[in-house]
Every structure is written in structure tokens, then in C-alpha cells.
Structure 1
Amino acid sequence: MKTLIIYTYPNHKSLNYAFLQEVIKGCNENPYIKELQVLDLYEEEFNPLLVFNEEKRRRDMYRDQNLEKYRDQITWADKIVFVYPIWWGRPPAMLMGYIDQLFAANFAYKDKKGLFPDGLLTGKSVVCVSTMKGPTKYPLLWLNNAHKILMRKALFNFVGIKKVKFFEFGNMESEKGRQVKKLEKIYRYFKKVAY
């Protein structure tokens, strides 16, 4: 299994970075994971801004040469792992800008007649590891599960990825947030996950 980790947080001295390290550690000890790549969007200085004009049209994003290496990473990966905070009930703008550009028509999906397109990323799986300041149940109880619906239904299922797992860790700025237990949980999961 080839695994791509996409990390989206601007600080390497942070809890999010600690989660990234546990994902990497678990993957490196997992006999099912043969190859591993890590994409740090901030370190990469990825430009999340969409630009459309006379020369650069939205329908041509799947051919954008500036995005070719990122498309190659997604094509290469069997499993894609996202590590990010939840800000204002959703992933950071940096990650959304990456998604807007990479999950483009004629690469991630193909339009057809009818309500839904053909997803072109079938056979892949996704894991989302996210942290938040608020309580773990906040997205479910106050936001009607908006984060999971956005990621699972509006994005991954749309492009053909049906196997999606979420780890939403709340109370991460609290002294009672059980951060060590949650870090250990992530390490154990990635050490054993088979697909």
C-alpha cells in the first residue's frame, strides 16, 4: 500500500505536528505500507489561490503544469491521509485551496449526463485526522456534522473515494484533552491499518 500524507498546519512545534509524527511512525512500522510520501503544504509554500483569466480557465486545471507533481502524488497513492485542524467548522483555507485545484474535472471526476459525475479516484481510501479547540461533539451537535458531510459526501464520494475514516479530536487546548492518549491511538491505528 502506497500512502500519501498531506499535512496542513503552519507550525512544526504544535500538537498537529505531533499527530503527523505519530502517523508517520505508525506507517513506517506497518508491514502493509510499502511506500510513504509526506506533503507539508505550508513548508511547500503551496499557493491556495485560484486564478482564472483569459489564459487560465477552470476547465483546464487538470492540465496545469504547476500542479502536475501533486496530481502525480494523488494518482500514485492507494491511501491519502489528511492531518489538519478544524477552524470555523471546516478545514483551513490552505487545504481547501489545495482541494479546489487538485480535485478538478477530468482528473478527479468526469462530468456525464445525470445528477452525479463519474469519480475517477475509485479504489483509494482516505483518513482525516483533525483537531479542534472545542468539544469533540461540537461539529455533530452544533453544526449538523458539516465537516464530515463536506469531506465525505461533497468531496470524496463525489470523486469516487468511498472508504473514508475520520478522527476528530476535540478539547485539544485543554489540560484535560488527553492528548497523549489520542496521539497513541493514531500511532496504533496506522501501525495496523491494512487498507
Structure 2
Amino acid sequence: MTLRRIAIIDGHPDPDPARFVHALADRYAEGATKASHEVRRIMVSALEFSLLGSRHDWEGEYIDFDIKRSQVSIRWADHLVFLYPLWLGDMPALLKGFLEQVMRPGFAFEPQTGKGPQKALKGRSALVVVTMGMPALVYRAYYGAHSVKSLERNILKFSGISPVQHMIIGDVEARPGMRDEWLSRLSFLGETGQ
């Protein structure tokens, strides 16, 4: 097994440790550390950053300290793990605001005239873990897993991150007996660096 440098991005906006997404992130980190992978963690709810409100903000040189520190961890990693709950059919607004700040020109991509953007985060893979109240099958079949596909296509692959794997965990509230299985699965994925 190849040892990896892993950045875990816990995108739950509520810092309450009782949130299941935090437990999943913890278990992944424990498995990865046990297997001697190097791990850095980014807990989006603990960061201080402003939201982008204009093109000037997006292209500007000013970057909040916590965003710069997050960029250092993402650039350092060769594997990224994103975890978030599905809220109103998408990622929570705080995670979206974080990604808008982090994945700016000059970091995630380099604009090029006529050729399209140059992908600046090539050589990294990702795992996206999403929890939700609805059954995972309904989210995939009826809704087309649109939030996950959007994150993969419009943010991760746009910046060169590939391959991207997904784990969709449905019925989180209705099937609390499954939590131990999901936690074990995350531990295994951490151990194997997936």
C-alpha cells in the first residue's frame, strides 16, 4: 500500500461534535493515521473567512488567513476527502462559500486566453461523502445525485482533481442502527487511503 498525504475537509457548518458528519471524519482520520498516512484536517465550521461578493473579490489578491492555511493543506495533499450533509438538495452554504474562496484563480486553476483554464491541482484524487435524510437510492435515481455531480464536475475536475469517488449515506436519521457500519466503512477507506 502506498502511503498518502490526505486532507480531510469536514464541511458540516455546525461545530457540534454530535453531528454524524464529524464522527465520519473522525473515523476516516483514525483509520488513515493507524495505517501511517499523513493527515491534515480542515473543519469549515471553525474557520473565519469572508464570502465573495464581487468579481473583484474573486480575482483580488486578498485572501483570509484561514483560507490561505486551507490552500496550503490542499496543495500539500495528494488525496482530498470532502464530507458534508445534504441541505436543501445541495452542500451547505458555508461549504460552498469556503470552496469559492479556496478554489480561486491562481490556486485551483490558471486562466489562459483561448485555451481554457490550466488545471492547477492535477495529481490529486478525492472522495466525496454526503449524508442525507432521504434514501440514497432516491437521491441517485430521482435527483440524479446533482450536488455530488456538480462538485465533481464544476469544482474538483475543473481544477484537475481526478479520479473522484463518492459515498452517499442515506436515511441517516431513520436507520441509526447502520451508523456503526458506515463508521467502519469510513475507517477502512481511511486505512486504505481511498
Shorter chain as normaliser: what TM range? Answer: 0.7 to 0.9
1:7 to 10, 29, 51: 10
The structure with the largest helix share of the pair is 2
Question: Counterpart of 1:190?
Answer: 190
Q: Find the residue that maps to 1:137 and give its secondary structure.
A: helix
What is the 5 A alignment of 1:150-169?
Answer: 150-169=150-169
Please provide the CA RMSD for this pair: 2.0
Q: Provide the identity percentage.
A: 22
Q: Distance in 2 between matches of 1:65 and 1:175?
A: 40
Corresponding residue pairs, total = 188
Is it true that 1:17 corresponds to 2:19 in the alignment?
no
What TM-score results when the alignment is normalised by the length of structure 1? 0.87
Equivalence for 1:50 = 52
CA gap of 1:48–1:5, structure 2 versus 1, over 3 A, is farther
CA distance in 1, matches of 2:50, 2:150: 18
Amino acid at match of 1:126: A
Q: How does 1:38-117 map to 2 (within 5 A)?
A: 38-44=41-47, 46-47=48-49, 49-52=51-54, 57-61=57-61, 64=63, 66=65, 67-114=67-114, 116-117=116-117
Please say if residues 10 and 25 of structure 2, whose CA atoms lie closer than 8 Å, have aligned partners that are also in contact: yes
Distance 1:93 1:176 in 2: 26
Q: Which moved more, 1:19-28 or 1:170-179?
A: 170-179
1:104-143 mapped onto 2 (5 Å cutoff): 104-114=104-114, 116-143=116-143
Aligned mates of 1:142, 1:5 — CA distance in 2: 29
1:64 partner amino acid: I
5+ residue gaps, structure 1, are: none
Distance in 2 (alpha carbons) for counterparts of 1:109 and 1:118: 5
Scaled by the length of structure 2, what TM-score is found? 0.87
